[in-house]
Amino acid sequence: AQSVTQLGSHVSVSEGALVLLRCNYSSSVPPYLFWYVQYPNQGLQLLLKYTSAATLVKGINGFEAEFKKSETSFHLTKPSAHMSDAAEYFCAVTVYNTDKLIFGTGTRLQVFP
Amino acid sequence: KAGVTQTPRYLIKTRGQQVTLSCSPISGHRSVSWYQQTPGQGLQFLFEYFSETQRNKGNFPGRFSGRQFSNSRSEMNVSTLELGDSALYLCASSAGLAGGPGGDTQYFGPGTRLTVL
């Protein structure tokens, strides 16, 4: 069965610093992996998606994630944090042969001036 | 293209009542999925509908049901509400590649915040 684990429920960075949000997956088949962002009182917005076409995936708002099979990881990064990046971030994997998403527990990102 | 819309955005009900939530997918999308988000359990999959048929189901009691109409709009119903049903209910739509390998990108609506008193 597929699953994802997000390490760190809260991450705090200064504006302009590197953002690193960790996600490890478990899957016996090549996974489809996603990062979504949720701002307060809103739904989920897709940041990026891994489909095996390329291991480095670029998303919106300057975010990117690298798929590392040897480490079963799909960490999300952004070189320079902006105040507007403060939100909750969810890593997700689809259950094999379906569109059903299994989400991690989320990481709340705080950005300090 | 308009995004996924959900109505109502906020709802307050009392225990024992029933509630119906509505979701309109992105134009052209044929698959609609529902998720429940709570602080304790996080994001959990409820069910998915494609072409008016339930294609996948999560581990929720039978009080939770749904349906999809011929225009792909979907409704979710919860009967005999319990305090623990208080949550943000999110609807997501995708193109719904029938028979595909899965992993179709899902686009989420803003959610319906249900409070059960």
Span B34-85, pLDDT tens digits: 999 999 999 999 999 998 999 889 999 999 999 999 999 999 999 999 999 9
Question: So what's the pLDDT on residue B96?
Answer: 74
Cis peptide before B8 (omega within 30 of 0): yes
Mean pLDDT of A75-101: 93
Question: So what's the pLDDT on residue B98?
Answer: 53
Question: So what's the pLDDT on residue A70?
Answer: 92
- The beta-carbon contacts of A58-64 under 8 Å, at least 24 apart in sequence, are A59/A35, A61/A85, A63/A19, A63/A35
Q: pLDDT tens digits, residue range A49-85?
A: 998 778 899 999 999 999 999 999 999 999 999 999 9
- Are the beta carbons of B108 and A106 separated by less than 8 Å? no
Which residues on chain B are in Cβ contact (under 8 Å) with A99?
31, 33, 48, 56, 94, 96, 102-104, 106
Q: pLDDT tens digits, residue range A3-22?
A: 999 999 999 999 999 999 99
pLDDT above 60 (res B99): no
Q: A60 in helix, strand or coil? A: helix
Looking at this protein, which amino acid is placed at residue A94?
T
Which residues on chain A are in Cβ contact (under 8 Å) with B105?
34, 46, 49
Q: Of A18-32, A93-107, B11-25, B97-111, where does the model show the most confidence?
A: B11-25
Tell me the C-alpha distance between B69 and A88, whole Å.
33
- Are the beta carbons of A100 and B45 separated by less than 8 Å? yes
Which residues neighbour B83 within 8 Å (Cβ) at sequence distance 6 or greater?
Answer: B15, B116, B117
